[in-house]
Structures are given as structure tokens and as C-alpha cells.
Amino acid sequence: MHHRILVLLLGLFALAGTAVAQDQPDKWYDRIDLFGDARLRYEGFRQDDNFNDDRRDRFRMRLRVGIEIAITDALKVGIQARNGDPDDPVSNNTSFDGAFQFKEFNLAQGYVDFRAASWLDVIGGKFEAGKRWTVSDFQWDDDVTVEGVMENIHLPSDAARYDGLELVAYQFLLEESGSGDDAFVFGGQARANFDVTEHDAIGFGVGFDYWDNPQAVVDLTLDGDLRGNRVTNLLDANGQLVSDFEIVNLFAEWKHSRSERWPIKVNLFYYQNLGAKGVGEDQDTGFFGRVQYGDYKTKGQVALRYSYYYSEPDALFYVFTQSDTSRASDVKGHRFDVRVGFVARSYFNVTWYHTEAAYAKDESLDRWQVDYIVRF
């Protein structure tokens, strides 16, 4: 069945490449877009009975550099490199240590993006999916770049205050095995946005993820071949997942823009794993909420942000969730951010996390970060 799905997707790529024939831009440099960012970070931790004297400090950096080339108005090719541990899919950070050793730089994105029609976009390869669907950084960490195919469909509306229906489908490949079953994640979502007033907009939707053979990913983590988040889903005595993962999520967003200086944004997400089994049936629910007041895009502007994370162990699959909570799927946590705009597309960000386990009996963790970020 999986092979048939992939054949159909390849056929869709071929159709997208031939369905729209448009002229190339006039100049070669108009077809090239450079993008990326640099971040310097100080980070500290405090947790009882951990680290040296319960305290740890470190300095880190992240550099992401990419290029996207428009072959035609309907076809783009992109590539991006990032520093960090290539075996860690949820962090691009590199710590300042090792007595000035050189740091690793890795392929983070390599994709082909087809604009098959005004209402259909198809992207395939290794790419950053976060801007193409509605997802919280709790469920999918900001540093994750997926591998596979994603289709975005926009069905416009003639109504003055309704943007139309957006449909997203995705087929991601997780692990290929020569001796066992491969691992995939299939899913989709439907979302809609409405302008309620001149200054108020709301959006809401529903999504679903089906994880096929997630145990193959757990085995990678337990064997030490996959770093990043530790396994926080429920396992039996043989290291096997107790639950399957068929996760439904509901989400809503409200934006208020009466004040350009102090806009308000509220995001809410609800998660439930319909595949939870055994003891996992009582540990299958999660929530995420975020409130932001203000903006930080120009010098001197300030944004204040609060986020709440709650996930029972089998509500989310652990591997790609927010890594800074340090708890993956089994977490109850708070995050506070202060962002201050600086010069030339840059800003400072001060963040504090306080997290504890929702199920396991672990000590609470305090984590603070001071970042300077430059975008280009």
C-alpha cells in the first residue's frame, strides 16, 4: 500500500511540473532568494539532584543559511544548511566547548516546490513544514525539518470576511528498514480564517496524524542512534510502546490588531490520542496555549508572551515535540518570553521555562535562555 501511495505522489509531481507553464523572471538574480538566521545564546538550568550543585550553564550558537531558486513562477528548488548534531532532529544548536574544535554543518533542507495551480501547492524532499500548516511548537519543535511530501490546497471564498477553506495533507517517511517494516507518519488538516471585525480575525481547524510503526523510531532512540528527545511515552517491560498513535488535534487562533504597537495574539490547541491502549488510555490528552501581547519587528518594540504546555505521556509521540521543555510528551510546563526589537532585522529574547512531569516522578526543571537573533 505504501508503495502505491508513493507512486501516486510521484505522478502528482509530474502533473504539477507540466500543468503550469509560465515565463521565467527577466533577470537571473530575481530568481534567487537567500535566507537564514544567526543566534547566540546563553542558557542555564537548575534541577535538584542533577548537574554540578544542581546548576548548569552553557553558551551556544545556531546558524542557518539557505538559498531558493525560482526555476519558473510555478517551480522552485531550495537547499539549506544548519549547524548542530546531525543525529538530533529537534535542535540546531552547537555548544561552545571542545577547546575550539570545528563545528558540524549539515544538510537541513533540500526540496522541490511546485505551484501546480492557483489553488494547489506541492512540496517534496526535506523541508521546513511549519509555515505550511497550523501547528504548535509543542507538537513539532521549531527546528524539525520533515522528509516526504506535503500538499496544500486553498479553496477561496467570495465572502468578504472569509478567506476560504485550506486543506493540508502530508506523507512523511521516518525510517526505512531492509529487514522489517518501514515507519511513516500520514496526516492532514482543514482550517479556515475569518475577519470578524476590522481589527479582529479568528481561525480554527482540525488535524489528524497517523503514525505507522512508531516503534522503529523508539528503537533508534533506545539504541542511541537517534538523539534529542528521550522516550517519554509509556513502554512495557520489553521496551515496546503501550499505545498506538492516532492523534486528533483541534486548534483556534484570535488576532487583535487595533493597536499596531500592541497587537494581541492567542493560540489554543487540544490533542487526544485515539490509539491509546492499556494504561495509556488514561494518559491520552494534551493542551497547549499561548498569549502574545506586543510586537518586536522594529527597534525598541517589545513583545510579552506566555505559553502553557500540558501533555500526558501518550497524548503525543515524543520524538519531534518541543525539546526545550526537556520532558517531550510527559510534561506540565510554563514558558515566559520577553522579546525586544533591535537594529537591522534583529531582536533580543529572554525566556524562562518551568517544567515538571505530568505522570512520572521527576524533579521540576527551571531553564532560562538569553538570545540575540539576526535574520537575513
pTM of the model: 0.90
d(CA 15, CA 107): 28
If you write DSSP's letter for every residue of 262-286 in order, what string do you get? S-EEEEEEEEEETT--GGGGGS-EE
Distances in Å between the alpha carbon of 124 and those of 152, 170, 297? 12, 10, 31
Which pLDDT score is estimated for 121? 98
Residue range 2-375 in CATH 2.40.160.10 = yes
Residue 222 DSSP label? H
pLDDT score recorded for residue 362: 86
pLDDT at 328: 93
Cell 506523507, located at residue? 171
Residue 350 Cα distances to 51, 173, 303, 326, 371, angstroms: 22, 35, 11, 18, 6
Cα(139)–Cα(251) distance, integer angstroms: 12
Other C-beta atoms lying within 10 Å of the C-beta of residue 281: 13
The string of DSSP codes covering 156-195 is: ---STTEEEEEEEEEEEEEE--SSS--EEEEEEEEEEEEE
* Secondary element (H or E) of residue 7: helix 2-19
Sequential pLDDT tens for the chain (376 residues): 555 454 444 444 444 444 444 455 568 788 999 999 999 999 999 998 888 778 899 999 999 999 999 999 999 999 999 999 999 999 999 999 999 999 999 999 999 999 999 999 999 999 999 889 999 999 999 999 999 999 999 999 888 788 899 999 999 999 998 888 999 999 999 999 999 999 999 999 999 999 999 999 999 999 999 999 999 999 999 999 999 999 999 999 999 999 999 999 999 999 999 999 999 999 999 999 999 999 999 999 999 999 999 999 999 999 999 999 999 999 999 999 999 999 989 999 999 999 999 999 888 999 999 999 999 9
The dihedral built from the CA positions of residue 307, 311, 316 and 321, taken in this order, carries a sign that is positive
Residue 148, phi then psi, degrees to nearest 5: 150, -135
Nearest of 190, 207, 355 to residue 273 by alpha carbon: 207
pLDDT value for 177: 86
Compute CA distances 73 → 114, 122, 239, whole Å: 9, 14, 50
Other C-beta atoms closer than 10 Å to the C-beta of 166 total 21
Minimal CA–CA distance to 12: which of 121, 119, 118? 121
Nearest Cα residue to 290 out of 249, 251, 319: 251
Q: Are 36 and 376 in contact (CB under 8 A)?
A: yes
pLDDT digits (tens, 9 = 90+) for 87-140: 999 999 999 999 999 999 999 999 999 999 999 999 999 999 988 999 999 999
- At 26 the pLDDT is 67
Cell of 296: 518586536
Q: Which helix (H) or strand (E) holds 122?
A: strand 120-127
**β-sheet bridge partners, residue 127:** 146
Domain range annotation of the chain: 2-375
**pLDDT number for residue 51:** 80
Q: What are phi and psi of 84, to 5 degrees?
A: 120, 180
25 φψ region: left (φ > 0), alpha (ψ -120 to 50), beta (else): beta
